[in-house]
């Protein structure tokens, strides 16, 4: 007899998680609680309620987490200008700690002794969900059906549905895109099918959020972003909530062919994976945030942030959002943002994000000192001689001892 009485399932209402509901009921003889999160995937989430009810689920959670997602996860990540392996803006990675958090909170609310997810045994998401769950509730049991069952294809899943009377729209399931896709307010990702050949160029009709740079308007679009303490708060003078702002940038960025990326990345489980991503709003935000930081941050603070960023990105990619080291880094990174205030003007043109201006009351740029014209004594150029001699001292000593670099 199973030691699991109740399990909270991260439930989309699609084919995979619909199968998982029945599989949990059949194999664990347990009550299933479903949790469906709206994090901006662009699809209606309410239909998941009827699908869950049809399979006898009595406790159904459907929640709009878009504002929390952007405010408490995306924006703090962008404080660090976070990019994994030089390209990936971590759109999937940053959504998982929020889902893990809510799975555990719902488990506590409903008295569940287990959680479950639909991530496969080959991917990163299983690690992200489970590291988060164990950090927040060490004794929780995690059920990962893809690591237990013998269902290995879409056809086998549909056969299981037919044999167990699972209400699934088979015509819709068969017409589904050949790509494995994940979407939220930050990005949409594509994996599988044609993309499993790293030499194959993605098909143009694969992309959902953006036009190709070639098809983008021939006239540039200008936008202005206002920042307060490192967070974007307004576009073109109109204040917006975090989720609304990111959604707006996705629209204007996509219309200008911005945010497409084609990457071969190193998964935490050890394999390389080829994926394509659309991150229009995030691509704009990254450029704008670095522009306002260039004006307001002390040099050594900015350079230290850049040194810490790859480690911070790796922690998020690998699923360690709730770890003490990520939280420690976040405190330092967030502290640096107190002076990151001001306005950035950007030019969007055929896939490019170009900085066209930046200004801030907290600017460290001093025109009197930086000018190539008369500076009225603001900077004594003769001081540079001693600066250079002091900084070359160790090299001069070594050369005098015969340690020439030539």
DSSP for 323-368? SHHHHHHHHHHHHHGGG--EEEEEEEETTEEEEEEEE-TT----HH
Q: Which of 38, 125, 226, 231 is catalytic?
A: 125
**Which ranges of 218-354 would DSSP assign to H, the alpha helix?**
242-255, 280-296, 299-318, 324-336
Burial of 168 (0-12, 13-18, 19+ CB in 10 A): buried
With beta carbons less than 8 A apart as the criterion, state whether 114 and 140 touch: yes
Determine whether 323 is an active site residue. Answer: no
Contacts of 147 (CB under 8 A, 6+ apart): 121, 126
Spatial strand order of the sheet with 114-116 comes to: 59-64, 31-38, 6-10, 114-116, 141-143
Catalytic (active site) residue 96: yes
CA separation for the pair 397, 342 (Å, rounded)? 46
CA dist., res. 122 & res. 224, Å (int): 42
Is 182 known to be catalytic? no
Q: Residue 109 has which token pair?
A: 């609310």
How many C-beta neighbours within 10 Å does residue 327 have?
A: 12
Beta bridge partners of 125: none
Residue 383 falls in the annotated catalytic set? no
Q: How far is CA 401 from the centre of its chain?
A: 53
Rounded CA separation 321/326 (Å):
6
Helix, strand and coil in the chain, % to nearest 5:
45, 20, 35
Which residue shows structure tokens 């009810």? 53
Phi–psi pair at 23, nearest 5 degrees: -60, -40
Q: By C-alpha distance, which of 92, 102, 97, 24 is closest to 57?
A: 24
Which of 12, 38, 66, 96 is the catalytic position? 96
- Which entry of 49, 71, 180, 294 is annotated as an active-site residue? 180
Q: Copy the structure tokens of residue 168.
A: 């699934």
Known catalytic residues are: 16, 96, 125, 180
């Amino acid at each position: 007899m199973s030691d699991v009485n109740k399990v909270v399932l991260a439930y989309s209402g699609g084919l995979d998680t619909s199968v998982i509901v029945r599989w949990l009921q059949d194999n664990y003889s347990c009550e299933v609680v479903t949790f469906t999160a709206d994090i901006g995937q662009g699809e209606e989430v309410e239909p998941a309620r009827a699908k869950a009810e049809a399979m006898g689920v009595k406790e159904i959670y459907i929640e709009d987490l878009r504002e929390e997602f952007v405010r408490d996860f995306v924006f703090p990540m962008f404080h660090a200008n976070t990019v994994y392996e030089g390209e990936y803006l971590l759109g999937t990675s940053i959504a998982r700690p929020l889902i893990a958090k809510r799975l555990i909170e719902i488990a506590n609310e409903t008295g569940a002794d287990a959680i479950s997810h639909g991530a496969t045994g080959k991917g990163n998401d299983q690690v992200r969900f489970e590291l988060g769950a164990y950090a927040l509730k060490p004794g929780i049991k995690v059920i990962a059906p893809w690591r237990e069952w013998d269902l290995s294809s879409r056809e086998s899943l549909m056969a299981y549905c037919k044999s167990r009377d699972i209400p699934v729209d088979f015509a819709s399931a068969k017409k589904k895109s050949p790509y494995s896709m994940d979407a939220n307010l930050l990005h949409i990702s594509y994996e599988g099918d044609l993309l499993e050949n790293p030499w194959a160029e993605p098909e143009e009709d694969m992309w959902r959020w953006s036009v190709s740079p070639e098809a983008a308007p021939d006239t540039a679009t200008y936008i202005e972003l206002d920042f307060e303490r490192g967070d974007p708060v307004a576009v073109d003078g109109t204040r917006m909530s975090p989720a609304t702002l990111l959604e707006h940038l996705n629209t204007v960025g996509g219309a200008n062919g911005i945010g497409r990326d084609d990457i071969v990345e190193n998964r935490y489980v050890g394999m390389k994976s080829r994926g394509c991503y659309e991150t229009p709003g995030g691509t704009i935000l990254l450029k704008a945030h670095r522009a306002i930081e260039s004006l307001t941050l002390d040099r050594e603070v900015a350079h230290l942030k850049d040194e810490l960023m790859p480690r911070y990105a790796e922690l998020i990619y690998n699923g360690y959002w709730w770890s003490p080291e990520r939280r420690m880094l976040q405190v330092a990174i967030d502290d640096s943002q107190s002076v990151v205030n001001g306005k950035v003007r950007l030019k969007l043109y055929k896939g490019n994000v170009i900085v066209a201006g930046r200004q801030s009351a907290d600017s460290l740029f001093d025109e009197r000192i930086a000018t190539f014209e008369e500076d009225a004594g603001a900077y004594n150029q003769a001081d540079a001689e001693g600066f250079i001699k002091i900084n070359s001292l160790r090299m001069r000593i070594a050369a005098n001892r015969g340690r020439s670099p030539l």
